[in-house]
Amino acid sequence: MNIKLQDELQKHQPLKAEQIKTWLVENENYFNFLISQSNCNKWSIWLEDKATHIYPCVCSNREKNCIFIEIYYQLDRVIQLYQKEEYFKILIEEYKQISSDKIALSEWFNKNKKLASELAFDTEISIMLELEPYKTSKIILNENEFKNIIELQNIFNELEYNQIINS
């Protein structure tokens, strides 16, 4: 991976959404070029269908270009979620209005269960650089900009936990 690009991300942490958007736009052509050159077929499959779930790489020897692609992918995913912040805020408001009504809460949760299963978010993105010895690079996001995502994820986690206990 281009060390300059990795350093660029590292020196601006925690990253803000606008910084991520700018970085993604500036590196989109490079990203697409690297996918076309990559030995890892999963990235070209994802490029064709962005709904495809990508599993973390477990290659013992990580290619630098694949690391860059994975960083781009992770940050793109963050921005896709960030663009739904207002929608998440509406869901939180709905939840707060019905939180004391177990039947309405159950219906709300069932209606949003698919979103709950897809909403895996963390303000710290960890990218594996080497398997042995295990080495990662961390990308820290500005937590304040993702507060609705975090709150909604916490609500879903609590409801799932309570559903298991009350079952």
H-run or E-run covering 19: helix 17-37
Please state the domain count of the chain. Answer: 1
Report in angstroms the alpha-carbon separations of 142 from 17, 118, 149.
Answer: 8, 21, 12
Question: Closest Cα to residue 154, out of 106, 111, 120?
Answer: 120
Span 84-99, pLDDT tens digits: 999 999 999 999 999 9
Position with higher pLDDT, 44 vs 17: 17
Task: Say how many C-beta atoms besides its own lie within 10 A of residue 29's C-beta.
Answer: 9
CA distance 135 to 44: 26
How does residue 1 score in pLDDT terms, banded at 50, 70 and 90? Answer: very low
CA distance 53 to 22: 24
Output the pTM of the full model: 0.86
Q: Facing residues of 127 across strands?
A: 137
Q: Which amino acid is at 83?
A: Q
Supply the range of the domain harboring residue 39: 3-166
Q: Is the pLDDT reported for residue 167 higher than 70? A: no
